[in-house]
Amino acid sequence: MASTLLETLPEIWPEGQRIEAAGDPNIAVTHFVAPPAFHSSLIQTLLMLERNSSFTEPLVQGSCGVKIHHVDRWNCPEAQLVHQRALALFRHGLHTREAHVDASWASIYRKGDYCVPHSHIRAQASIVYMVAEGDAARPDDLAGKLCFTDPRLGYCAQHEPGRLTRMLIPVMQPGSMVMFPGATVHCVNPYMGNRPRITMSWNINVKALPGDPRQTFERGGA
Ligand SMILES: [Fe+2]
């Protein structure tokens, strides 16, 4: 079954795949087109891993739901393609051939889950991929949204440098991949839907870092 899926998977970086600024030059976004079955398979895999895997780490509420670590170790062709796409986005965005993943994980949010403002240590750039938005919210609904809340971003300090007056909320749907400097402060608003909201995340550097990220990794992962 896996080989059949692999044969039908899209290419890592489709021709014409564009990277755009998501309202601020520091925040990049690209939207991959994928058939519904692609994300259904990812969702199935993640919900199974959540129940059965040692990669699963339940967290206290406010710490981004349930985490499932090590994207590269999941036996899931779709996940491996998204993993390669995250590396490709890093290389394109930073104009480098080197890309070393320091940490990678999925986050499964259920009703009431949220993520307090934080940034990512051990990450030149962090990447978030939307697997499932959960229950459809109104377009203007802020629930469950990934928000950048950093006064160093020009978008967030529109009136005066350094004075935070608005959040940057990238438009994300299944297939959307957002990249940002790891130091950028961000959060996820409380999710209030009934179906799980699922994202995948990576911390990536040009050079591999010494040490174990799990020993120093902050609680947080949009
Ligand atoms: Fe995060």
Q: What is the mean pLDDT of the chain?
A: 91
CA of 119 to the centre of ligand 1 (A): 6
- What contacts 186, CB < 8 A, 6 or more positions away? 117, 118, 119, 146, 147, 148, 149, 150, 180, 222
Kindly state the average pLDDT of the residues 67-92: 96
Instruction: Please give the domain boundaries of the chain with CATH numbers for all domains.
Output: 26-207 (2.60.120.620)
CA 185 to centroid of ligand 1, rounded, Å: 8
Rounded to the nearest whole angstrom, what is the distance from the C-alpha of residue 174 to the centroid of ligand 1? 18
Q: Which of 37, 49, 56, 25 is nearest to 156 (CA)?
A: 25
Kindly indicate the confidence band of residue 35, based on its pLDDT and cuts at 50, 70 and 90.
confident
How many angstroms does the Cα of residue 122 sit away from the middle of ligand 1? 12
221 CA from centroid of ligand 1 (Å): 3
Distance 7 CA to ligand 1 centre (A): 33
Compute the distance from residue 160 Cα to the ligand 1 centre, in Å.
Answer: 26
pLDDT tens per residue across span 138-181: 667 899 999 999 999 999 999 999 999 999 999 999 999 999 99
